[in-house]
Amino acid sequence: MLDLIIQASQLAFHPYVLMYVFLGVLLGITLGAIPGLSGDMAIALLLPFVFFLEPAMAMGLLVGIYKGGLFGGSISAISFGVPGTPGAAATSIDGYQAKLKGKPSKALHTALYSSVIGDTTSDLVLIFIAVPLAAIALTFGPIEFFALYAFSLILIAALSQGMVAKGLAVAAIGILLAMIGRDPITGAVRLTFGIPGLAGGLSLIPVLIGIFAISEVVFQGAKLWRRKVDKLMDDVAEQASLLQGYDISKDQLTWAEFKSTLKATYIGAAVGTFIGALPGAGQSLAAFMSYGLAQRFSKRPEEFGKGSLEGIASAESGNSATAGSTFIPLFAFGIPGSATAALFGAAFILMGMTPGPSLLSDNTEIIYALFFTLIFANLVNLVLGKLLLPYYSRIAMIQPGYMIPAVFILAIVGTYAANNSTMDVWVLLFAGLLGITLKLLSFPLAPLVLGFIIGPGAERALRQSMIMGGGDWWVLVKSPIAIGFYIAAFALILLFTLALRAKK
Amino acid sequence: MHIKRAKIATAVSAAFLTCAAGFATADNTPSLGNDPIRIVMPYGAGGSTDITARIIAANAAEHCGTRIDVVSMPGAGGMEGLQFVADAEPNGHTILMADYSATITQTLTEETDWEVEDWAPIVHLTDWKPTVYVKADHEIQSIEEWVALAEAEPNSLVFGHADPLSLVHLPLVLLEMETGIQNVHLPTTGGGETRTMILGGHIDLGMTLPPSIVSNVNSGEVTAIGVFADERSDVLPDVPTFKEAGYDVSFEAPLLVYTYSSVPESIQQELSECIMKGLESDTAQTMSTQASAGLNNVQGLESAQAIYRDTTVRVKEVLAAINEE
């Protein structure tokens, strides 16, 4: 064990790996701070290039981007009231108010510290839980896996931004898209409409990039262009007036203030870690839930929504605390619990590591190195975040006109390079178009991608179970573990529905 | 994993070095010309086939007189890669490396622009030996026990294999034809999932290629009970073949390099010879041992064509038998 830790730390603390972590965090904070761009998008765009890096370096880069992005989103949320990432939406409630009250530095620093604390908590839980869980995972056969897939799919769809019907609908579209290609059991080609290029199914990378990058950039860009530019200009004017008479020395976060936010931070860390571990629940749900809980337990709940530092701390810590625990289902079962985890899963596969029960036993060293990197990246996030804060509050001003062509070019080149396939480029454009359409109709996109990723596994597990059970449907409830999952899915949905009702 | 990376890196850097050498000696073999040769591989990058292709690229370039690039085209279940080679100009600069699933099985079972005979094998790189294995504490621990149990209770044993009709499924079909036993066939995502199901005790038997279970066999977690090959596997020397157990079933999967048949025979011959020369070099053999690529008995055009014809006949037999059912 000691040997392993030494070897893993040698891998993780190699100068090049450290460099990639720095680069990743820098990129992540930068992209996260720009509304419309996110860490997920950067990871999706970088996927094809992962293969050309050593696994430890690639991991460092991706982890850095992810963590930087989680915090970066709060910069524009606080500075402009425009959340840079969906997870930062709750942060913007109190963050923007605090900034308008002339406390941008306090707000940003609170966000940074609570983000790092929440994230680190979550990573520690991942490190100590993923290993024992992976051992249990071997007891999962097709029947148990189908129950777990069903549990995940139902939760993913039901929990997406409180739109149960729309969530289920897009998850179904995702599953349907995933069924194009080869039948997993008979090997027959299906749903290709006679297009030979579709015989192998839609590739993951163009679908991911199309849904996340293309549609997001086009949509955000168009929105910013048409409506938000005016608003942003007003904000800048407002900010300028605020800055007159603004004294940075009076806007330092004091130790007493920091301590007063700690309770909210811990609540966020606990809630975020728990929600993050559930497949499909996601950052924004975690942020809003911890915000709500922190308000209930706060000594000054009346300040929430009016620039409360506790409000910022709980939201940001809840958002960031999903970072580590979202990998638990991926590491233990090979099921990505979030879009980010799905992207990391794809990266693992490109590096020759298969997510699932054997991930840890087959790649012990590199996974332990990843654990070190996860913790280390938090420190980098803290340091870089502190250094960059003064400059980055202005980054939300980058014109979408420069962003869109850059992202488009990266997306197309990256997609083609991954498989040398022109078909994939068409899939990318189609996925982008589908994403834009669904967004315009205000459907959530995450369930689609998760449905697309989980669909084939669920179908295979179902049909494997049926083959093993000789075609008898009762085989699906013959396992106590499976029954447990069905009950848990039902109970959780009930719980969340009631909680949402109570909030309204 | 880390070590494997380093090997790929070695192979790649060696490829760059040999490129330089390739340009220098290009004048000696004018017929292939200076344009780079592309080896198209209808699989994802990073797998064992990929490494084999990179060993070729690194070592054959100086003998073929020009640079060799490896292109991975896994799209459309590999068919995109085959289409690309079939559509390329027939000058021998776009060649294919694949096992028989792509060129024979899929060509026979799917609608394609080519026939099996349109692929001209030029080098026979290695043979993969499909291996049947069970969990170490399973009641079946030998070929004989398997057959006996399957005869006593037909369709009670669940057998996990990768894709249907793949090279780790067809041998099972052949054995069932030979012995009349019946098993429940369970397709999995591949060797990894089959192994997890075996280790978790969810299925009884599984089939895979030896390198992927060597470590589990050595650690005593699983028992390899039989190999569908004429001779035992180098990496699993204690495991008997099915022939030794008295069942005349052997279905090794040859890994071949092909040109499309429209490429002139002289060029096919030339390519075959220069790839062979490259793979016989000491560097290539060292790389192959490191990567467990099994390139220690590479055969030329005649052997490649013979094994391709043989394999085609066998695959057709098995497919016909499956269709009768």
Report pLDDT digits (tens) over B156-183.
999 999 888 889 999 999 999 999 999 9
Query: Which helix (H) or strand (E) covers residue B60, if one does?
Result: helix B48-64
Report pLDDT digits (tens) over B249-302.
999 999 999 999 999 999 999 999 999 999 999 988 887 876 667 888 899 999
Q: Does residue A89 have a pLDDT over 90?
A: no
Domain boundaries, chain B: 2-128+254-311, 131-251
Q: Does residue A271 have a pLDDT over 50?
A: yes
Q: What is the mean pLDDT of residues A10-33?
A: 90
SS3 at position B18: helix
Does residue A6 belong to the interface with chain B, where contact is any CB pair within 8 Å? no
Q: Does residue B23 have a pLDDT over 50?
A: no
Best residue in A143, A464, A467, A472 to probe B by mutation, most B CBs within 10 Å?
A464
The rounded percent of chain B whose pLDDT value lies above 70 is: 87
In the numeric block, the tokens 């500075």 are attached to: A79
Higher pLDDT, A208 or A30: A30
The mean predicted confidence, pLDDT, of chain B is 85
Architecture of domain B2-128+254-311: 3-Layer(aba) Sandwich (3.40)
Tell me what pLDDT residue A401 has.
Answer: 62
B259 forms beta bridges with B120
Angle at A108 between CA A102 and CA A110, to 5 degrees: 110
Q: Does residue A238 have a pLDDT over 70?
A: no
> Across chain B, where does the E strand assignment appear?
37-41, 68-72, 94-98, 119-128, 131-135, 158-161, 184-187, 205-208, 222-227, 253-260
Q: Does residue A130 have a pLDDT over 50?
A: yes
Q: Does residue A166 have a pLDDT over 70?
A: yes
**Cβ contacts of residue A354 below 8 Å, gap of 6+?**
A334, A348, A362, B192
Tokens of B110: 């799917």
Residues composing chain A: 504
Tell me what pLDDT residue A433 has.
Answer: 93
Report pLDDT digits (tens) over A319-365.
999 988 888 888 887 777 777 887 888 788 767 777 777 787 778 88
> Which range of residues forms the domain containing residue A21?
2-503
Does residue B1 belong to the interface with chain A, where contact is any CB pair within 8 Å? yes
Does residue A420 belong to the interface with chain B, where contact is any CB pair within 8 Å? yes
Report pLDDT digits (tens) over B39-56.
998 876 555 677 788 789
**Cβ contacts of residue B224 below 8 Å, gap of 6+?**
B131, B132, B133, B210, B213, B217, B236, B239
Report pLDDT digits (tens) over A31-86.
887 766 677 778 877 776 776 788 889 999 999 999 998 888 888 778 776 666 66
Cα gap A190→A408, rounded to integer Å: 31
Does residue B10 belong to the interface with chain A, where contact is any CB pair within 8 Å? no
Residue of chain B minimizing CA distance to A138: B200
Picking from B73, B75, B186, the nearest residue to A467 by CB comes out as B186
- Shortest distance between the Cα of B119 and any Cα of chain A, in A, equals 19
A50-76 exposure pattern, b = at least 16 Cβ within 10 A, e = fewer: bbebbbbbbbbbbbbbbbbbbbbbbbb
CATH number (3.40.120.10, 3.40.190.10, 3.40.250.10, 3.90.1150.10) of B131-251 reads: 3.40.190.10
In the numeric block, the tokens 């179904």 are attached to: A172
Strands across the sheet containing B158-161: B184-187, B158-161, B205-208, B131-135, B222-227
Tell me what pLDDT residue A249 has.
Answer: 66
Cα gap A23→A9, rounded to integer Å: 19
Are the beta carbons of A358 and B83 separated by less than 8 Å?
no
- Shortest distance between the Cα of B105 and any Cα of chain A, in A, equals 11
Tell me what pLDDT residue A241 has.
Answer: 55
C-alpha dihedral (B203, B206, B212, B216), degrees to nearest 10? 50
Q: Does residue A398 have a pLDDT over 60?
A: no
- Rounded to the nearest 10 degrees, the angle between the axes of helix A400-419 and helix A215-223 is 170
8 Å CB contact between A315 and A287: yes
Tell me what pLDDT residue B110 has.
Answer: 84
Does residue B188 belong to the interface with chain A, where contact is any CB pair within 8 Å? yes
Are the beta carbons of A200 and B79 separated by less than 8 Å?
yes
Does residue A358 belong to the interface with chain B, where contact is any CB pair within 8 Å? yes
- Confidence class for position B6, pLDDT limits 50, 70, 90: very low
* Radius of gyration from C-alpha coordinates of chain A: 22
* Residue A84, φ and ψ in degrees, nearest 5: -70, -25
Does residue B45 belong to the interface with chain A, where contact is any CB pair within 8 Å? yes
Number of domains, chain A: 1
